[in-house]
Structure 1
């Protein structure tokens, strides 16, 4: 973690900056001799007052910003908080403080800062630079700025939660996570409970809701966590969540009525678990090595429910833009349903996927062949197929039987009490200890994403669960 930065300023320095007359509004810089130096609430109702308040903010302070439009350049956050006492910069009325035009916040060098409750309608969005570690961006609204990305994260230990990203019609990314330099990744970035809505760029590329890395950073270990986010009308790109780095977890997200997929486009060793994808043409696609894809539900998609990617290369050594064949990956205990191919191998690439395992999944088709193309040295066991011919699934890869799935009150496919999927899994797979409900699977595991249980806590996320107004 980057060391905490705690610069101080004297009254004379503030006076030189032209803000001495505002100290009475914002509060004294230091507590009187002998008094406890506790947290303070500083207030600001103009860009100048906000600059002054931030100039004297110390760990534990809260800077509240009055409603209005702030359009006059980037406002520097010159001081850092601490892990125990962050500096909070918050809209006094959430959503009523708008950064527009050239306005915004400059977090360069500022760590342990909370940015809360703002509306970013500005040209440049917000950037968390690489030297601004352990900051939290929470309960803000980003409305499709005309620049490249609404929020760019380059710093370690950044938390991005309970924000709304909405209504972009131009090319660009809602949230991109990169890192310092040309090839590194920010470490331990946590993205959760955000609402990604109505990305309507409709381009061939460059319209992801989340892009976690870049081609040139694909071999950098990020240890990122993307969980409990809702994506609706994520149509700006074929990828709603685009992973282009190594060793991440993508879990318990919901994607509804979207073109965008969960795509492991570059990198290795990512786990995709417990996600719910319903409607649209969405699905899960993966390239690269050693991924684990388990306990996901893809339901009523018109596109491929799962794509096991082939590549222009077998193992990438150049950090280039070529697709890398998916090798040594596990896709197990998923429930895949739709009118397109349920499993698409290779997608016409020169190097087919190799040494992958497709096990204990439920494949519920609507007439189209279940599998398209094939990989090499793939391992199949315990899959249930119903409603479609096998296509290129080899003999012995599946059994054909009605899994007796029924939709619960939230529209999620689950096995009925008499489902032949109950206790039917053939592999032990120590990588899979829970089901989509995060309930423990017994030794006799059920096929598919759901271990049958009367208690069914998992459900698709709704707008009430995410964004600035969620609990």
Structure 2
């Protein structure tokens, strides 16, 4: 009861301070008077040349919200850009389209959205969500100017549930600047990136045409702790780096790449984790998976299919392949190529790629330092036409290849050594959207070694003590598969946030009760009639925390491992928010 009283009080407070604005004059007046708890809503229609700079120090319980009154019905056109500084500001619901007269500054175009106000005050705990940027580009003569759609400064910021479509010209879609050594803790999730066109239609041409860039070379040896997850990249061609990691301790997981050219590149920085991602290259030339440069990286539980390492002109690329472990440069500068050290390539599945795992690649003759202390274990490779594992430069130190399995492909390994093996058939079977472990597969229980982080498989199923090789654990019953374009607007991308939101009517119609509210050590779920069925629990960032089937109309969930906060419980018929204190 206390929880609902607090929410009701918060709603009343927000309604008192809410204001619908219909023109730029009203907007600027509302911005000038904004404080914690202010809600400013854009009236439906087309807005031209919106120049918004706001600095408000709000709070987690009283954020400052600037939003479309009806997402999908508010359009920003012309020369529009948004700058936010302060704390706990939310910007949402707007579509950007039909750019014209964009502001230039030397070789740059001003970003569309910047997590920093015009007085250079950064944002902390700010969110941009449920927006759409649709082909909001400069003119043909401005293609080589750097035009970054979103630039993140500050800490604990988020870009989520948005669609970014039709980018052309130079410049990232999202650039987490990481301009100093302070960790960012940014979150980029549940977004849709599609239909990028490279300058002169040349994917081998200009740099800085990525989707996401985290960091810069000058601060690359410091940690960011940014997480990029549950995004879909579709029909994408910009440059070799779709995602460019340029700082330390970042995570990239549960992302899906379809019909693309380029790679997820660990370009600078150390201690990255790449796991649970799906790469479907559709046999496009210059399509790759994960490129590894630097130290202490972990690449595991990923799925790669239909990747082609050749450039569009037919020559081979040293930057592609399903997993590409680069050589380093002696005495490397920060913006060059650090040696790969102490990295692990574990339990990945590679299907119908011309080159699977490549060790010791070099894009130029200066890269002569072989990977050191490299572990490649428990990967499975099916139908790799050129080589399942290509060793261009042998790794040094205590490097180890073990427990890898291939079918229908050659590799630079000795069969039977360290449990590496080739099989004639039965390794994988085709599934609805990707290849799965087959009943009786030699990969089942074939895993070698122990890895503390390998508790789940790519489908979020539980790994058992007898570890399988490959990204999937047979029989683990995980259900977190790859994203499809049909998921846009429902679970990811623009308007998905609306679809996932809950309301008082949904709670009433569900005839389901949750108690106690707020919960502490346990949460009881009760339904008036029939079995509850499968439940899923998500945090407010959309991360799946629990999936469980309940064959009764009442059950109790242990919540002791949940941090205090707001969560969403979903069944096949309903979606309910609850709180843990």
Name the TM-score, length of structure 2 as normaliser.
0.71
Deviation at 1:236, TM superposition (A): 0.7
Displacement, 1:208?
A: 0.4
The 5 A counterparts of 1:377-396 are 377=396, 378-390=399-411, 392-394=412-414, 396=417
Q: Deviations over 1:233-252 (max 9, x none)?
A: 22111111111110011011
Aligned partner (choices 203, 206, 209) of residue 207 of structure 1:
209
**8 A contact 1:153–1:186 mirrored in 2:** no
Structure 1 counterpart of 2:23, from 42, 46, 62: 46
| Structure 1 residues 120 and 360: CA distance shift in structure 2, 3 A | same
Equivalences for residues 31-430 of structure 1 within 5 A: 39-72=16-49, 74-107=51-84, 109-121=85-97, 122=99, 123=102, 124-129=111-116, 131-143=122-134, 144-146=136-138, 147-180=146-179, 183-184=180-181, 187-201=184-198, 202=203, 203-279=205-281, 280=284, 281-303=287-309, 304-313=321-330, 316=332, 318-319=333-334, 321-348=335-362, 349-372=367-390, 373-377=392-396, 378-390=399-411, 392-394=412-414, 396=417, 398-401=420-423, 402-409=425-432, 411-430=433-452
Contact 1:71 1:99 in 2 (8 A): yes
Q: For the Cα contact (< 8 Å) 2:14–2:37, is it kept in 1?
A: no
Q: CA deviation at 1:169?
A: 2.1
Q: Which runs of 5+ in 1 are unaligned?
A: 1-34
| Secondary structure of 1:308's aligned partner | strand
Distance 1:299 1:39, change over 3 A: farther
> Which residue of the partner structure matches residue 523 of structure 2?
none
Q: Which residue of 1 aligns with 2:495?
A: 469
What secondary structure sits across from 2:25 in the alignment? helix
1:450-461 matches, within 5 Å, as 450-453=472-475, 455-461=477-483
4+ residue stretches of structure 1 with deviation over 4 A? 35-39
Q: Is the 8 A contact 2:80 2:112 kept in 1?
A: no
* Distance in 2 between residues matched to 1:42 and 1:127, nearest whole Å: 23
* Partner Cα distance (1:82, 1:212) in 2: 26
Deviations 1:128-157, CA, capped at 9 Å, x for gaps: 026211100001112343352110101100
**Mapped partners of 1:305, 1:462: distance in 2:** 21
348-357 vs 258-267, which deviates more? 348-357
What 5-or-longer segments of structure 2 have no aligned partner? Answer: 1-11, 103-110, 139-145, 310-320, 501-581
Shift in CA distance, 339/88, structure 1 to aligned 2, threshold 3 Å = same
Superposed CA offset, 1:163-195 (max 9, x none): 111101212211110134xx4355110010000
Report the Cα distance in structure 1 between the residues aligned to 2:75 and 2:478, rounded to whole angstroms. Answer: 41
Contact residue 354 and residue 375 of structure 1 kept, 8 A? no
Q: SS state of the match for residue 50, structure 1? A: helix
1:341 is displaced (CA, Å) by 1.3
Contact 1:164 1:194 in 2 (8 A): yes
> How many residue pairs end up in the alignment?
429
Is contact 2:17–2:38 with CA below 8 Å preserved after alignment? yes
The answer as to whether partners of 2:461 and 2:477 remain within 8 angstroms in 1 is: no
The alpha carbon displacement at 1:100 in A equals 2.8
Q: Distance in 2 between matches of 1:71 and 1:347?
A: 50
What displacement does 1:72 show? Answer: 3.5
Shift of 1:460: 1.1
Q: For 1:324 and 1:339, locate their aligned partners in 2 and report how far apart those are by CA, in whole Å.
A: 27
TM-score, scaled relative to structure 1 = 0.86
- The 1-side partners of 2:125 and 2:407 are apart by 49
How far is the alpha carbon of 1:39 from its aligned partner? 4.6
Aligned-partner Cα distance in 2 for 1:310–1:36: 58
- The secondary structure found in structure 2 opposite 1:54 is helix
